[in-house]
Structure 1
Amino acid sequence: MPDTTERTTGTCPQCGAGIRADERFTAWCAACDWNVDPARPEERPGRRERTQRALARRHGERLHAEVTSGRPLRPRRDASAVLAQVIALAVHGTTAVLVVAGVWLLLVGLGGAGMVLGPVLLVLAWVLRPRFPGLSAKGPVLRRADAPELYALVDEIAAVVGTRGVDAIAIDPDVNASVTTYGVRGRRLLTLGLPLWETLTPQQRIAILGHELGHYAHGDIRHGHVVATAYWSLTTWHYMLAPIARPSLAEMAANLFGLVPRLLVRGLLTLLDHLTLRATQRAEYLADAAAARAGSTEAAVGFMDRLLVGDSLVTALRREAGTARTGRRDAGRGEAARADGLWARLAEHAETIPEHEYERRRRAGALRGHAVDSTHPPTHLRRACLLHGEPLPPAVTADDGRERRIAAELADARGMLARELVRYGVRG
């Protein structure tokens, strides 16, 4: 990766070693790690927090050892994953019981009481029913007719990682990529963050597509209908049971009555989250392996490094928006001019991020270790696992003609999102 930015030098105040610095990034010492992670969050005190951190570290170390053992890493339904499925089914079973009980009360009557309680239970069951998310996107959604070359590439990569393609592709302004399902039939949605896509090489784009499709191939438990809809249901229950602010006397009684159910629901949400965490972290390693098979080990490491500096890309986009809004008499022309070359300038910024900034981020990740609630293992461990053993060649290779055709298919989305980012900046 080219490193053309002019540097300044200084001396480490901690060990006296020389420091190479770039004014755009944090100055730090490679000899003693001084200032390597100035934004490190403070660890919360308490026995529970210490126990959670210890468990997260122990599990992460075991999983990392398994990944680097030389044995093939495969999806596995351990006791935690099975228990998560049981809890999810119990959540849905509760809704089913409400339906059956409501219908039974309507049929039996119970001297008129059933005609009152039955509809109440049925309405409650309707409110607490499993939700299937609809198709939601921050930007344009491309169908097969809109982008046949992009879909053909996705289909080719899907075959390599052992799954099928997707039903819709959304293009959005985030520095990320993701997959999810939508609708009762579990249709597949691939979301490509254009600021990330535009800063990757063609081979790295193949690798990141392999990673995302790998989540479908390996049955990531959090992408499954049963557990995902149970999350939605429990979240709805927790919202419905939330205490009333500034309650009256009667409302205070309602708050008190709902206290135990609310704590139970919150406990189930926390438990379901922790039970699926292990399987989800394993799924990330499996998806990384799929990325390496599809695009090569080198390309998989490359896109992972780019994600490591994602906040720098966000800062660059915000700077673009600020430049377009200030110092120009004609704001419309200013925005149009900035939007026209936005993606080229963003790619140039990404290419000039110095290697010592990537290294700082990797070391900072190592210092932070395994987060208690992160669905992703630390990036430095994922990177090390990819580089462990023989590097894999690409199963799918970039083709200049196809790249040009895909770029043409994305042209309208590129223009629209560039104008939005320059006008409104990065949201959220």
Structure 2
Amino acid sequence: MSQTLAAVKGMNDLLPGEIEIWQHVEGLARELFGRFGYGEIRTPMVEDTALFVRSVGEETDIVGKEMYTFDDKGGRSLSLRPEGTAPAARAYIEHSILNQEPLTRWFYTGPMFRYERMKTGRYRQFYQVGAEAYGSKEPAQDVEVMDMVAQFLQALGLQDIALNLNSLGDEACRPAYHAKLVEYLKAHIEELCGDCHRRMETNPLRVLDCKNPKCQEVAGKGPNVLEFLCEPCKAHFDDVQRKLTALEIKYVVNPRMVRGLDYYTRTVFEFIASHPALGTASTVGGGGRYDKLVKSLGGPDVPAVGFACGLDRLVLLLKEGTRKFGASPDLFIAVADPGSQDTAFTLASKLRREGLRVDFDTRGGSLKSQMKRSDKSGARFTLVLGEQERTSGEAKLKRMADGSLIPVSLSGLAAAVREHSATEVAQRGNAT
């Protein structure tokens, strides 16, 4: 017997019944981000490996341990994208966008890939929605991005999500903090894991991002990055906080927070959910400023700020609620006898052309089994078509909510379904 094939571990199928939640989240993102003036981009899922080495950082876990990297038939090293910011920056440079507009706002959505230990809401093929803003170094741009995320999460109806905020400084003030951090870490080197011994030499900020509990404990008692900020960075961070307060966006300053990518400067932030469905994987979105990324990839010296939200985790949170997603059929057509099958099939096609969502079981079967399917589908109305209905051109529309019967003509069926659907919606609205 041949072995049954299954999806690759950590790469999941999205099926009807769940995909409607994904479509809702993605549709809401497109609508809301459009209000902020962000246009959608789509970049390839495969990029030159060097793009991520140069941007994300060679010493990060993403590049060192998690990327899906392979040589193609031409001997080029390619990688499935592990995140969306670097590909967007590459596209910004390649298409000379700066020459077309001084301020650029983009958003994207799609799958990313990392070979990592899986846990709740974290998979090897995972999905993100994110945005990037190029051309503005102002604190207002940082806050606009955070405001957009906050409004997005609020529009999804998610509760108990806290904004954590920090500043990592820049090339003027970060070296002094690095030196102090390394001095502190060397004094506690015996308490750190082997990976952090290496990180301490290559990029000490990575120690702060280690998931080892002992390393986290050591890092939590280390020097405070905010105490090392130069005046321009401090002024930038203070203005970010003032603007967040003006927008009534609550936040917590968390000086121990860093992001897992090397390109961040100054502002970094995370939106953290308090919900048992996520367990310890509580970050649903995050980002920050990366003013030197575009230049480091060979482009112009353009400041930028952006974010990404994990769609897998957002969908998990929405599944915990009671809200139903996706549109049910407007009408289910059942047949009372085999002779009505062709007429019902033709009628269903006609009504779909007129804009109705129509369910119809092409297998036929007993009327009882068809009515069970209608009930399961959630259809608002059911029409039973038999010889009498075909001959007279008249039928009865069954309202599934209460079982009442509404006389209709087959020629005016689409209009009748729309009329009675509108009446039903209006009645529900008045009741509430």
> TM-score band (shorter)?
under 0.3
After TM superposition, the score normalised by the length of structure 2 is 0.24
After TM superposition, the score normalised by the length of structure 1 is 0.24
Higher helix share: 1
Q: Which has the higher contact order (CA 8 A, sep 6+)?
A: 1
